[in-house]
Structure 1
Amino acid sequence: MAKIKLKHYHVRKGRGYWLVTSKMRAYGFDNVRCGPEGPAAWAVAQEWEQRWQLARKGVDTSTRKVYPRNSVGYAFERFRQTNEWAKKPERTREDWDRGWQYIEPVFGDLNPSVITFEMIDGWYSKWCKVKGIGEAGRAMKTWRALYNVMAAMKLCQPKQDPSLAIRKTAVPGRTQTWTEGEAVRLAKAAWRAGYRGLACIVAVAWDTSFAPVDVRTLTLGQAVDAGGDWGFLIKRGKTGEDAFGFLSARTKRLVESYVSGLDYTLHDDAPIFRTQGFAPSEKGGRPRVAVPYQKNSLVDDFAEVRRLVFGSDERRRLMDMRRTGAVEANAGGASVEAIAAKMGNSIDQNKTLQKTYMPVNLAAVRAADESRRIGRRKLGSEQNEFKKLKLAGEKS
């Protein structure tokens, strides 16, 4: 392995460290563990050296801000360098970053030990008014998780988080569901409008009850045959739990038609479903290559197809199909265990026991699917219409 010479980088017992001087410490920098000696450690050291040189020269840059030593921002930067942060799912890290943008302007430069209940109360109240209770709640959730990290770093007292005296305002949970006919209409409309990848996503989401992120990232390598039935075996992006979803014959034909119509060959680890793309016509236009769906492009395209089918007043989302699957299965008499296997999560209170005694199995998934069909028929026949009873007797 080639040797590399970096300023302030040192190797001790096979591990690399970026070590600061007293002058650098005065700017808020601290020693950084770069990991085992090698290219990855060199990259970490080089990044921190660049931050120091820019800070020393007073250059305004897009690199991360350097916070005072032992401040909230200092703790968050330290946490980002740990294995615990690296192990978090991508969506969890995104949630932390989203909450951090509300924490940083107010508390980033402060030592956590000086932050009082009144300060937290005013901060939370402000974001409730400015951004709404949903975003304020996300910010509070991030703060409470970060406080535990800072306590572990001995920057504040454990179990003394001043925010615990504040009762968060809960956001009303979503209750919207779709019907099978509506899902079919959406898939057909998407296909006819040229959103063929989206049509497959809608159909697969309906059959499998997978979350949108898990459907849009499906690959050919996750497709399996189980007793003659097609399905996808995945690890859920949010929880890392195993999940399996069967495809109906109709969805199988749709996916087969989509894949066979592609003008390129998909690798086993490449996402299957792509955006519409655009090929210039005689009238011109800018070409766009079809690319794997991302979160925003999926939301935008689904909203466009939803508008075509149901009008601009419709607000249900693709994610509501996942809830529909649980509602139908529950109405059909499926056990909590079968629904947990179907959805790839732990619905009851003890997740450890769920993992131990209820591993994902095809029989449980088939049972949940059959219960969905039974529940769908029951829900379709029950109109939930109520008439007011007249219990008072007639006066003589």
Structure 2
Amino acid sequence: MAEIKLKHYHVRKGRGYWLVTPKMRAHGFDNVRCGADGPQAWAVAQEWEGRWQRARKGLEAPLRKVYPRNSVGYAFERFRLTNEWARKPVRTREDWDRGWRYIEPVFGDLNPSVITLEMLDRWYSKWTSVKGVGEAGRAMKTWRALYNIMAAMKLCPAQQDPSLAIRKTSVPGRRETWTEGEAVRIVKGAWRAGYRGLACIVAVAWDTSFSPVDVRTLTPSQAMQTAQEWGFLIARGKSGEAAFGTLSPRTQRLVLTYIEELGVTLLDDAPIFRSRGFAPGPKGGRPRAGVPYTKDSLVDDFADLRRLVFGAGEKRRLMDMRRSGAVEANAGGASVEAISAKMGNSIDENKALQKTYMPVNLAAVRSADASRRKGRALLGQERNEYKKLKLSGK
């Protein structure tokens, strides 16, 4: 075999390695196991040396860490470049990235075929104790989805994921709901406190059963009118399902009043509802106009408003209003198909038929609204129905 000299390439016990310097590591590069010393290992080393030289010259600066070939991180980076990844909703990609944070430090540089049940068991147990059941479960969910991707890349055996032997602990689902009276109190409290965009968000969320992200991103172009009502026609941010959210006359007046008071002309694709901004008080300060709500700013403002209206002990969230609408409609006798059309998801058993025969079915939406009003009355009558029964015999 001819002797070849490659920069940063070293041979140890018959195997080739491309070894990085501290400067190279600062650019995101790491050591690469090239395989048995020979032409194939040399080609791998040349490929990584070329990447480094382009990065060093500023021609191809890596934005992410560079992983060894055929490693878990290498596979994930390949997946990010596919159209399949690009088609995933933004919130789904965020979930993958959140789970990846727990996978990367332990398994990022390893070949998936060498990862064993014992390694995964210790990893899952560690994150369960450090981050809790919810985050550990998210990490495990991401790993299992990524394993199927890596199997499709021929990096590990298909349908032989060792993690399937681990029983994942589930987080109990949320059950909290709001009542109509409580929603009205929040809306009034928000309007009086200057959170007028937030007041509209709460009112719209209550009427439409949209999720918080779907409400805070509503634009004028999504406002639609039918023969009987008007509301917003959307493609849900998480599932992409179409949904039409109808507004009560009270919420219609609130939204129109808010838009008139904005003092600006809203573009068709501009978010309608904005934060309250800041107006200088007696102590002065810099005035700041309201801006469209982000996920974090909406959570923070709603927490402040909830504390203002109900006190520090209240922990229910804005997202619970979506569940409240489903509970009311179910109590009023609405069919699962009507609730599915109202919420813009596929909670009914036959998703294909629902998409085929009930795409944004206005009759079903109105039926769900009517059932909500009926269920709201029934739930109000049953409040405090259960009382503690003493059977001590004394």
Instruction: Give the TM-score category using the shorter length.
Output: 0.7 to 0.9
| Cα distance between partner residues in 2 of 1:28 and 1:70 | 14
Contact between 1:274 and 1:293, CA under 8 Å: does it hold in 2? yes
Q: CA deviation at 1:57?
A: 7.7
Change (3 A) 1:116 1:322: same
- Aligned partner of 1:314: which letter? E
Q: How many residues align?
A: 352
Quote the residue 2:346 is aligned against: 346
Q: What is the CA–CA distance in structure 2 between the aligned matches of 1:329 and 1:297, rounded to whole Å?
A: 30
Residues 155-180 of structure 1, C-alpha deviations (whole Å, 9 max, x = no match): 00110101000111010000000000
Q: Which residue of 1 aligns with 2:386?
A: 385
The residue identity in structure 2 corresponding to 1:350 is N
Matched, 1:125 2:125: yes
CA distances 1:37-60 after superposition (whole Å, capped 9, x unpaired):
xxxxxxxxxxxx9x74475589xx
Does the alignment pair 1:65 with 2:65? Answer: yes
Please tell me whether the aligned partners of residues 243 and 360 of structure 1 are also in contact (alpha carbons under 8 angstroms): yes
* Structure 1 pair 270–29 and aligned structure 2 pair: CA distance change class (3 A): farther
Cα RMSD of the aligned pairs, angstroms, is 2.4
Over 3 Å counting, the alpha-carbon distance change for 1:28 and 1:242 in structure 2 is: farther
Q: What's the offset of the Cα at 1:285?
A: 1.5
Contact 2:55 2:62 in 1 (8 A): no
Give, as a single letter, the amino acid of the residue that structure 1 aligns with 2:284: G
Q: 1:26 aligns with which of 42, 45, 55?
A: 45
Contact 1:346–1:354 (CA under 8 A) maintained in structure 2? yes
- Whether 1:145 aligns to 2:164 is no
Cα distance in 2 between the residues matched to 1:144 and 1:370:
42
Residue-by-residue CA offset, 1:265-290 (whole Å, 9 max, x unaligned): 00111110011111334532233331
Q: Tell me the TM-score normalized by structure 1.
A: 0.84
Shift in Å at residue 244 of structure 1?
0.6
Deviation at 1:213, TM superposition (A): 0.4
AA paired with 1:208?
T
SS in 1 for 2:313: coil
SS at match of 2:297: helix
Matched residue, 2:367: 367
* Residue type at the aligned position of 2:349: Q
Q: What SS does structure 2 have at the residue aligned with 1:261?
A: helix
Distance, in Å, in 2 between the alignment partners of 1:385 and 1:109 is 56
Contact 1:220 1:272 in 2 (8 A): yes
Q: CA deviation at 1:391?
A: 12
Distance 1:105-1:335 versus aligned 2 partners, 3 A rule: same
Structure 1 residue 258: Cα displacement: 0.4
Cα separation, partners in 2 of 1:381 and 1:162, compared to 1, 3 Å: same
Name stretches of at least 5 consecutive residues in structure 1 with no aligned partner.
1-20, 31-48
1:237-386 equivalence runs, <5 A: 237-281=237-281, 283-383=283-383, 384-386=385-387
Distance change >3 Å, CA 57–CA 190, structure 1 → 2? same
Deviations 1:68-110 (A, max 9, x none): 0000000000000000000000000000000000000000000
Provide the secondary structure at the position in 2 that maps to 1:360: coil
Could you tell me how far apart the structure 2 residues matched to 1:355 and 1:161 are? 33
SS at match of 1:102: helix
Question: Normalization by structure 2: what TM-score?
Answer: 0.85
Is the CA contact 1:28–1:68 (under 8 Å) kept in the aligned structure 2?
Answer: no
| Offset at residue 202 of structure 1 (A) | 0.1
1:205-251 CA-partner distances (Å, limit 9, x unpaired)? 00000000000000000001111411100000000000011100110
The one-letter amino acid of 1:179's match is T
Q: Check 1:378–1:84 CA distance in 2 against 1; reply closer, same or farther (3 A cut).
A: same
1:203 to 1:165, Cα distance in 2 relative to 1, 3 A = same
| Gap regions ≥5 residues in structure 2 | 1-39
Contact persistence 1:211–1:322 (CA under 8 A) = yes
Shift of 1:291: 1.1
What residue identity is the alignment partner of 1:177? T
Matched, 1:79 2:57: no
Write the distance in 2 (CA, Å) between the matches of 1:206 and 1:332.
16
